[in-house]
Structure 1
Amino acid sequence: MQVDFWQLSEDPVERVIPLIARRTRQAGEKLLVVSSMGEQLEKIDRSLWEMIPDAFLAHGYAHASHAARQPLLLSQECTAPNAAQFIAFADGQWREEALQFDRAFLLFGDEQLEHARDCWRMLGKRKELQRRFWKQENGKWREGP
């Protein structure tokens, strides 16, 4: 399993999720985006439609009908009716259910920095996990130490 830590410094989460979603779809995978905040999921929903006009990112909510057919789902829970193997935590909060997926993305800002650091250390003790760290510099995402 791989866990990617994305430190948000320039763009809000609703601008970053579409980038991750597009790469996920290009890899032939499905994605579950989780946030405990309904308003944040609504912003992400709009951004998936508007941010990348030339790339149609079909998506829906996990509680809606036909959720199993959607390649990208938005949810407040870690259950993936679409059998996604990738999960993104848009609210910056790690959940142990992520370990059931092949790849997890933890997106966090300055207010969740200590939680992310604790999570990085905790996951570092698990030999079966690969961790990667990404940070935005001058508008580009760079892998960090």
Structure 2
Amino acid sequence: MQVDFYHLTATPLDRALPQIAAKVISTGARLLIVTDNEEQRRHLDRLLWQYTPDSFLPHAQLGDADDAAQPVLIAPDVNAANNARHIALVDGVWRDDALDFDRAFHFFDDDRIREARLAWKALADREGVERRYWKQNEAGRWEQAA
């Protein structure tokens, strides 16, 4: 199980998440996006339709369509009704249920750095969990820092 911590500094979630989602889908895998913020779920729903003029990320919010058929599903909690094996926690809140997936992407900004550090430390001793910390360099590119 791999957990990737993404510290959002220069690049906002609106640019980072679609890139991750596109990469997951390109491998034939499915993604569950989790945020308990209803407004953020609506925003991400709109974003994934139009984040670039030539893009298309098939997705739905939990309960809006045939959940099981969705390559990307946006949900208020860890409910992989689309049988996703990848999960993106986008509201800055770590959930241990993410450890049931093959890979977790934990996005957080400076407002949630304390919680992210606690999650990082808590996962240090978990057997079978590989942690990676990604930060942005001065050019805005992601680089693995730990």
| Structure 1 residue runs without a partner (length 5+) | none
Q: Secondary structure at the match of 1:33?
A: strand
**1:47 partnered with 2:47:** yes
Distance in 1, Cα, partners of 2:89 & 2:116 = 11
**1:76 partnered with 2:76:** yes
Residue 144 of structure 2 corresponds to: 143
Q: Secondary structure at the match of 1:91?
A: coil
CA contact (8 A) 1:32 1:74 kept: yes
CA contact (8 A) 1:6 1:105 kept: yes
Q: Secondary structure at the match of 1:131?
A: strand
1:58-115 residue CA offsets vs partner (Å, 9 max, x unmatched): 0001122311111000010101111000000000101111111111110000010011
CA contact (8 A) 2:88 2:106 kept: yes
TM-score, with length taken from structure 2: 0.94
Residue 103 of structure 2 corresponds to: 103
Distance in 2, Cα, partners of 1:56 & 1:142 = 26
Distance in 2, Cα, partners of 1:54 & 1:86 = 24
| Structure 2 residue runs without a partner (length 5+) | none
Count of equivalent residues: 145
TM-score, with length taken from structure 1: 0.95
* Structural mapping, 1:93-132, within 5 Å: 93-132=93-132
Residue 26 of structure 1 corresponds to: 26
Of 16-25 and 43-52, the range deviating more from structure 2: 43-52
Distance in 2, Cα, partners of 1:53 & 1:92 = 28
Of 73-82 and 50-59, the range deviating more from structure 2: 50-59
Residue 62 of structure 2 corresponds to: 62
The alpha carbon displacement at 1:143 in A equals 1.0
Paired letter, 2:118: D
Distance in 2, Cα, partners of 1:67 & 1:52 = 24
CA contact (8 A) 1:58 1:71 kept: yes
Distance in 1, Cα, partners of 2:89 & 2:102 = 14
Paired letter, 1:143: Q
